[in-house]
Structure 1
Amino acid sequence: MDDVSSDKHPDRGGTRRILLAGPRSFCAGVERAIEIVERALQAHGAPVYVRKQIVHNISVVEDLAARGAVFVEELDEVPDGATVVFSAHGVSPAVREEAARRGLDVLDGTCPLVSKVHAKARRFADRGDTVVFVGHAGHEEVEGTLGEAPESMVLVETAEDVRRLTPEDAERVSYLTQTTLAVDETTEVLGALRERFPLLHEPPSEDICYATTNRQLALDAVVAESDLVLVVGSANSSNSVRLVELSQRQGTPAKLIDRAAEIRTEWLEGVRTVGLTAGASAPPALVDEVVAALGELGPVEVEERRITDETMHFELPSALRGTAGSRTSGGQS
C-alpha cells in the first residue's frame, strides 16, 4: 500500500476521503428485470416464480422473495400454468420450448442487450460460421447464449483457449462476447483470435454492454488515488467481480462486499482514501449505507467522480406496460 503521507494522499486532519465512482449501481437492464417481477406480483399476486436469480444480487433477491417471488433453479419446480419470469441473463431456446410445452405464463426479463447477442449468435451460425464465444464457463448468460446454436458455438475464456481451437473451416470463424467482461482482459483474447484467424468475422458492434464499460471506466477515474477500493456487489455478479479484479490489476487492494456490515475495520488501517463503486446489479441504497458506515468510523469527505450520465431505458414486456408499478428496490445514490 502507498504511504498515506505522500502527495497522492494529502493530510486532511484525520478525515478519510471517499471517492465515489460514477456511474455505479443499477443499469437499465437490471431495473427492467426487477420491475417485471414487481409488476407481475402486483398484477397476479404471489407466488410469481423466477427461474434463477432475477439479477445477481442477494439483497434484490431477498427483497423480492419477501414480497412473494419464488426463485427456482429449473422449470420443473414451477407448477403447470403458473407465471414465471426469466432472469436478466437470458435462457436458451430449450428452456423457452419447455415453458411453452408446460403452458407457463412467461414474462421475459432478459436484458435486451443480451437478446441482441443471442440474435447475432443465431445469425452467425446460420451462415455457417464457427462462433467463438468469449465468456466465463458456468455463468447463466453464457449457458443461455451457447444454447442458441450449440452445434456451432465454442466457449473460450483465455488466449490459451484460443490457441487450442480447431474449427472445421478456419476461414469461417466469428466471435461474440459475454456482456459483462472486463474490457482490458477481453482485448487480449480478441488479439489472440485475430492473430490465429486472419479472416475472423467480427460483430458489427461491441457486445460488452455500456453499463459494464462505464463502471470500469468510472473505477479507472478513482483507483489511482485510492488506498482501498470497495465494490458493492454479490460474488456471483460477473461485472462486480471484474471491478475488483480491475482494481487489483492496477495495484490497489479491493474488496467485494454485499452489505456495509461486511466491512472489516482492519481493512481500513492506514487507509486515507477509499474508492467506492457498485456493480450494475447492486441497489444504489447499499452504496449509501457504505458511506454512512464509513462515516460512523470517523469524519469523511465524499467526492464523486462521474465520467458520464446514463440515460438508457428499456421498455417492459407488452403484457405489463398497462399495469401500475413503482421502482422500490433501491433508492438513489
Structure 2
Amino acid sequence: MTEQIQSKRPLKLLLAAPRGFCAGVDRAIKIVELALEQHGAPVYVRHEIVHNKFVVDSLKAKGAVFVDELDQIPDGGHVVFSAHGVPKSVPANAEERGLAYLDATCPLVSKVHRQAERQVEAGRHIIFIGHAGHPEVIGTFGQVPAGSMSLVETVDDVATLTIDDAGNLSFLTQTTLSVDDTAEIVEALQRRFPTIVGPKGEDICYATSNRQNAVKAIASECDLVIVIGAPNSSNSVRLVEVAVRAGAKAHLVQRADDISMNWFDGVDTLGLTAGASAPELLVREIIDSLSRHFDLDEQQVTTAEESIIFKLPRELSDSGV
C-alpha cells in the first residue's frame, strides 16, 4: 500500500525590506577581508568586527584572530578596530606599540564622535542616550575627557540626573536605538532642560530606522515575527521590541536551528527580518528550513530603498587591493 504523502500546511511569509547588512557592516567586513588579502593571516581584530557569530566565524576561517585587547597582539601585528568604534586611547596605544591598524568604525558612529568633540569644545556637558557597556557607548565616551558626558538609558534616568550647569547641555544618541523609545527620552530631556542642544541631524542611523519601519509595516499583520540577529546586537534586539510593541509575538534567532516548531501553533502569517549585522544567507537558510515544514507564500514588503556605500580607509583603497 502506497503511503499517503501528507500535505504541508500553508504559511504566509512577509519578508521585511530593508533587512540585513547595512553599509557600515559591509564596509567593516570588507576591511578585514582586504587586510587579510594584503597582509596575509593572521590579521587581528579587536572585539567582534560586527555582532554576528556567523560573520565572526567566517572571518576566523579566513585567518582573522579576534582579541579583547591590544596586549594580546604580538609586536608587528596588523589590527582592525570594530565597526562600533573605540576610545581614542586604543589607536594611541596601537601607535605606541608600533602596531599597524585599520579603523573599521562605521562612518555614522564616527560622526557622533566628532559631534561629541564639538560639544565639549563649545563648553557643553553631553547627555548621551545609549546602553551601558555597549562597545559604541564605550567608544563614544572615550572621545572626550572623563566627566564631560553622562549616560541615560531610560526616561526614568532623566529625572535622576544630577547636572551642575543645567543651562549648558547637549544630547547625543547611540546609533542603534529604538527610534520610538529614544524620542520619548529626548522629549523628557527637553522638558527638564528646555535649553538643551540636540544634534543637527538624527544620530540613530538610517539602517536602524529603516529596519524598524519595515518591521512596523508587517508586524500588525503577523502572528509571529522572527528576527535574525545576535543577542548582543543592539539593533537586532530593538527589532524584536518593535514587533512586540506592534502586537506580534517575536523571537530573536541566530540560525535556523534556533527555531522551534512549537512557535507556529496558530500562526498563519509569519514576519521575517534580519538585523544590520546578519547576512542574507541566514535569511535564505531559515526560509529553506521553513519550506520543509510549510507551503510558503513568500511576499516581500519594501518600505525603503538603500543605496548608501561607505568608502574604504585610504590605506586599503590606495593600495590597489
| TM-score normalised to structure 2 length | 0.96
Please state if 1:52 is matched with 2:55. Answer: no
SS class of match (2:123): coil
Q: How far 1:81 sits from its partner (Å)?
A: 2.0
SS at structure 1 position matched to 2:133: coil
> 1:80 & 1:129 partners in 2: Cα distance?
40
The residue aligned with 1:81 is 76
The root-mean-square deviation of aligned C-alpha atoms, in Å, is 1.1
Structure 2 residue aligned with 1:296: 292
Secondary structure, counterpart of 2:166 in structure 1: coil
Q: Which residue of 2 aligns with 1:252?
A: 248
Q: Which amino acid aligns with 2:297?
A: E
Deviation per CA, 1:119-173, whole angstroms, max 9, x where unpaired? 0001101111110000000000000001111320011001111111122211101
Question: Are 1:305 and 2:304 matched, yes or no?
Answer: no
Quick one: which amino acid aligns to residue 61 of structure 1? Answer: V
Q: Please, which of 244, 263, 267 is the counterpart of residue 263 of structure 2?
A: 267
Displacement of 1:48 in angstroms is: 0.2
Structure-2 separation of matches of 1:289 and 1:221: 23
Between the aligned partners of 1:284 and 1:322, the Cα distance in structure 2 is 29
Matched to 2:93, the amino acid is E
SS at match of 1:304: strand
Matching residue's letter, 2:220: A
Counterpart CA distance in 2 for 1:168 and 1:214 is 37
2:5 is aligned to none
> What's the CA shift string for 1:10-53, capped at 9, x where partnerless?
xxx94101000000000000000000000000100000000000
Identical columns (%): 54
Shift of 1:80: 1.7
Query: Structure 2 CA distance, aligned partners of 1:147 and 1:246?
Result: 30
1:6 corresponds in structure 2 to none
State the match for 2:38 in structure 1. 43
SS in 2 for 1:15: strand
Determine the structure 2 residue equivalent to 1:328: none
Structure 2 counterpart of 1:306, one-letter code? T
1:322 deviates by 4.3
CA distance in 1, matches of 2:18, 2:196: 33
Q: Does 1:164 align with 2:160?
A: yes
Which amino acid is 1:88 matched to?
A: A
Task: Check the 8 A contact 1:39/1:324 in 2, yes or no.
Answer: no
Instruction: Report what 1:120 is aligned to.
Output: 115
Say if 2:140 is the partner of 1:135. Answer: no
CA contact (8 A) 1:175 1:201 kept: yes
CA distance in 1, matches of 2:242, 2:285: 23
| 8 Å CA contact retained: 2:240, 2:250 | yes
Separation (CA, whole Å) in 1 of partners of 2:113 and 2:163: 21
Aligned equivalent of 1:231: 227
Residue 210 of structure 1 is matched in structure 2 by 206
Deviations 1:39-84 (A, max 9, x none): 0001000000000000000000000001100000111111122100
TM-score, normalising length: structure 1: 0.92
Most deviating of 164-173 and 276-285: 164-173
Q: Deviations over 1:251-279 (max 9, x none)?
A: 21101000111111101111111000000
**Mapped contact 1:39–1:323 kept (Cα < 8 A):** no
1:70 to 41, 47, 65: 65
Contact 1:132 1:154 in 2 (8 A): yes
Instruction: Give the superposition deviation at 1:323.
Output: 5.1
Q: Which amino acid aligns with 2:46?
A: R
Q: State whether residues 125 and 170 of structure 2, in contact with CA within 8 Å, keep that contact through their aligned partners in structure 1.
A: yes
Match of 1:61 among 49, 56, 64: 56
Q: Which residue of 2 aligns with 1:8?
A: none
Partner of 1:7: none
Q: What is the number of equivalent residue pairs in this alignment?
A: 313
The AA in structure 2 aligned to 1:249 is R
> What amino acid maps onto 1:83 in structure 2?
H
Q: Which amino acid aligns with 1:103?
A: G
Contact 1:52 1:87 in 2 (8 A): yes
Secondary structure of residue in 2 paired with 1:91: coil
Question: Where does residue 21 of structure 2 map in the other structure?
Answer: 26
Please say if residues 43 and 65 of structure 2, whose CA atoms lie closer than 8 Å, have aligned partners that are also in contact. Answer: yes
